[in-house]
Amino acid sequence: MLASLMKRFLFLLLMGCAGLSAQDLPEKYAPFGQLIITPFDSAPFPHPLRAEGHKRGTNFFSAAEHYQDSRVALFVPKGFRPGRTIDFVVHFHGFGNSINRALNTYDLIEQFAASKRNAILIVPQGPVNASDSFWGKLEDADGFKHFMDEAIATLKQHDIIKNQKLGQIILSGHSGVYEVISSILVRGGLSDHVREVWLFDALYADTEWFVVWFAHHKGRFIDIYTDHGGTKESTLDLMEALKGNQVPFFTGTETNATARDLSKNHLVFLHSDFPHDEIIQTKQSFRRFLETSVLGAMRH
């Protein structure tokens, strides 16, 4: 009981430090659906490898300020109807970010609701406003499986679903999240459920693990990159390697790629002229990827 009270106290403290009450975001997004923000035992942090904080270059990120927030946001759009299984999109925010900023800056919920996909969006809290690619427990063996088990249990507790099981999963991420997504594909315990991977200017490293995934699965892989975000070279190298091995793929721009281009191709590489921090929302790319994904549309 004491541990539970302490967890709740820490959750409220963190929300207060962010200048928000626990009700602010759910109320803001109520017109679009139900937003639940709650601590998870299986959330990325806290984690033993960040118990002493983390140093990157000359910057130090303390454990207390950056690695204690165990919040997870779950968004259920209006019109959602549980089927035999439940599909999810799990989106990971990048460097120097948080749940609050990711939702507010990138219009994730607005785009998700507008896509009218019959699925649930999950946005876990990673390193809070830190330059760090490590995502704690989600990089542990079966860490993602434990996380999704807790997500299902949480939705049952809120009477959103009953006895449905896990369905299809899309992994989406922005900026420095290549490490957590590749770790989930390799050892997260749910590789057979992952149907698509979307990297928003995030292919900095671990390219070989993404190749292993899309070489052995039929799911869609989308890599959108910019000139100055740091991912252009690795993306061009990957496309060159695929071309050398006669592996078909689509390449175009964020602007000229059609819905058919996005839906009919297994591998998609898109160049964006927009800045690194604008590629998710400026052209509604998150919504376009959703609308052309494997996820089913809501029934009217």
What pLDDT digit, counting tens, does each position of 101-157 carry? 999 999 999 999 999 999 999 999 999 999 999 999 999 999 999 999 999 999 999
The rounded distance, in Å, linking the Cα atoms of 58 and 180 is 24
Question: What topology is assigned to 21-291 in CATH?
Answer: Rossmann fold (3.40.50)
Of 142, 111, 143, 114, nearest to 124 (Cα)?
143
Arithmetic mean of pLDDT over the chain = 93
With a threshold of 0.85, does the pTM exceed it?
yes
The rounded distance, in Å, linking the Cα atoms of 23 and 212 is 42
CB 102 within 8 A of CB 144: no
The rounded distance, in Å, linking the Cα atoms of 158 and 25 is 17
CB 229 within 8 A of CB 201: yes
Q: Is 57 helix (H, G, I), strand (E, B) or coil?
A: coil
Of 174, 169, 215, 217, nearest to 194 (Cα)?
169
Structure confidence at residue 24 as a pLDDT band (50, 70, 90): confident
Q: Is 292 helix (H, G, I), strand (E, B) or coil?
A: coil
Q: What is the residue whose two structure tokens read 């695929």?
A: 242
Query: What pLDDT does residue 13 have?
Result: 44
* φ and ψ at residue 24, rounded to 5 degrees: -55, -55
Lowest mean pLDDT among 19-28, 189-198, 268-277, 287-296: 19-28
What CA–CA distances, in Å, run from 141 to 14, 117, 151, 187, 202?
28, 30, 18, 5, 22
Tell me whether residue 165 is exposed, middle or buried, using C-beta atoms within 10 angstroms of its C-beta: 0 to 12, 13 to 18, 19 or more.
Answer: exposed
| pLDDT-above-70 percentage for the chain | 92
Q: Tokens at residue 123, please?
A: 């946005």
The domains of the chain are located at 21-291
Residue 7: pLDDT above 80? no
Structure confidence at residue 23 as a pLDDT band (50, 70, 90): low
Query: What pLDDT does residue 299 have?
Result: 85
E-strand spans in the chain?
A: 33-39, 54-56, 59-61, 71-77, 85-92, 120-124, 165-174, 194-200, 220-226, 250-253, 267-272
Q: Tokens at residue 262, please?
A: 């996005």
